[in-house]
Amino acid sequence: PCPPLPCDTAWHRTAMGHATALLLALTLLSPWERAGGTCPQRCVCAANILSCSQAVLSAVPAPLPPFAAVLDLSHNNLSRLRGDWAPGRLGHLRALLLSHNGLSFVSTEAFAHVPRLRHLDLSSNRLRALEENLFSDLTELEVLLLYNNEIATVDRTAFENLARLRKLYLGQNRIARFPLELLRDGSRLPQLALLDLSGNRLRSLPVGELQALPAWLRDRLYLHANPLACDCPLVQLVARGHRRRLSAVMDFQEELRCSLPAAPAPVRILDLAGQQPLNCSEAREAVLEAHLGDSVTLSCDTRVRGARSRHWVTPGGERVLEEGGNGSAALLANGSLRLQALRPEDAGTYACWVGGPILNETLYVELLVHNFTLHGPHDSLNTAYTTLVGCILSMVLVLIYLYLTPCRCCCRAPDKPPAPRDDSADSSVLSATPNHATRVPADPCRSRSASGAGQDGGFKGGGTPQPPPRHGHRAQRKVSDPDSVSSVFSDTPIVV
């Protein structure tokens, strides 16, 4: 080792400075540089982000870093996306941005190398159709942006395997038919919470089935800026959304318009409630809760007098027209609907349509079916209560055994010697036994006490005979041994 002073030389300080600078440089290197690669030309690389936006690219740059988490290729000239655009697997890629590229073709194998993708932006391109199983490889996708394209047809299997998709943007396209198969059974896109179909070519909507959608999806189903035809079911659908203050209605009241046959321009849907020429009745609604296996009656409490006809529409769009109904649903004579042996699929919004001589009315009843039987929670509660009572009784029995066992005299210390006999009035009053000598009956515990061993195993006395105890119930309860009580607490565990 160097002496204290000579080690502090200029050479030593220079070497230490170079080492510190090298260590700092290695720390500041990006993952790309540490892996021995270089950032593609006209791109910006920052940690695990690769941005090639507005780089006038006609092909995807190569090589791509395998650790990239975000790849931005927006605002370029990538007109076709084939299956070989990523020669290797990009297992860390979470976001792929391809907007504003003029894309007109996307291969069904284009996303085979990015299975962990969560955010895919294909907006503002020239896509005309969504082919079969186009996104089936993206099992972890959560957000899909397809707005501002030319999409006119959507294959039924285009969104297969997207069990985690939460937001789907299909606005500003050419879709003329509502893709109800995406929502009907809830199994294809079970976590979908937002569906944007605004700015398309929809002329009619399956209002009955849209009413049965879950509340979280009804709140974020955007249908404005479509050439819809005016009718009463549409007016009531929008009016219910406005009454519930759903964001899809409240935020786009002006854009929610429909076309009347004689009107020169589309009119606001909300302006048609109760107005001519449709004269749509006001829709009322109620909420009813039930449990699996229950039988409920949905009341059609209409205000229309002299109703000529009425029928119910189930959440699946099936009509119940005649008394007797079909299976579990039966129409009663007073117009109510009787449902028996409720199942989970019976939940949803039921509509009662009433036709009168002047005014028609529609009543909606939203049925919530809880996924447990009515007696299940009570049975479990009774079981828990019984268990608790059993535990308390067990503790009481243990305490009785410890403190109220027979032959309590075995647990007490020898009594104090009796006071001298006195014929005074005080002694005659305070004494529970007569002052004259009596023969004491044999005490079954005396032999054990005289041996010197107590109930807790402690040794009492040195073998000397114990004086006779006072007779009578009062004398027995008055005299006690604190040591015997403390020995119970010290030797016996307390169960809580």
240 versus 470: the higher-pLDDT residue is 240
List, for residues 167-211, the tens digit of each pLDDT value: 999 999 999 998 887 776 556 788 898 999 999 999 999 887 787
CA neighbor of 226 nearest in space, from 251, 197, 268, 252: 197
Per-residue pLDDT reduced to its tens digit, 117-174: 999 999 999 999 999 999 999 999 999 999 999 999 998 888 989 999 999 999 999 9
Q: Which of 2-6, 100-104, 308-312, 330-334 has the lowest mean pLDDT?
A: 2-6
Distance CA 176, CA 468 (A): 109
Least confident window among 22-36, 358-372, 391-405? 22-36
pLDDT > 70? residue 351: yes
CB neighbourhood size of 388 (10 A): 10
Which residue would you say has higher pLDDT here, 338 or 276?
338
Q: Which residues contact 15 (CB under 8 A, 6 or more apart)?
A: none
CA distance 229 to 223: 13
Q: How confident is the model at residue 405 (pLDDT cuts 50, 70, 90)?
A: low
**Side chain identity, residue 398:** V
pLDDT above 90 (res 227): yes
Q: What is the mean pLDDT of residues 293-320?
A: 78
* Mean pLDDT of the chain, nearest integer: 74
Highest-confidence range of 143-152, 231-240, 392-401, by mean pLDDT?
143-152
- Give pLDDT, residue 213: 73
Cβ within 8 Å of residue 489, ≥6 positions away: none
Query: What is residue 372's predicted lDDT score, i.e. its pLDDT?
Result: 67
Per the CB < 8 A criterion, the answer to whether 42 and 22 are in contact is no
Cβ proximity of 375 and 295 under 8 Å: no
The position carrying tokens 């044999």 is 442
Residue 237 burial (CB < 10 Å; 0-12/13-18/19+)?
A: buried
3-state SS assignment for residue 253: coil
Model pLDDT, residue 383: 60
**What confidence category does residue 298 fall into, taking pLDDT thresholds of 50, 70 and 90?**
confident
The predicted pLDDT at position 66 comes to 85
Q: Could you say which DSSP state residue 222 is in?
A: E
Per-residue pLDDT of 408-429, as tens digits, reads 555 455 555 555 444 433 433 3
Give the pLDDT band (50/70/90) at residue 101: very high
Domain ranges for the chain: 288-369
- pTM for this predicted structure: 0.58
User: Which CATH class name applies to 288-369?
Assistant: mainly beta
Statement: residue 399 has pLDDT above 90: no
What's the DSSP call for residue 188? Answer: S
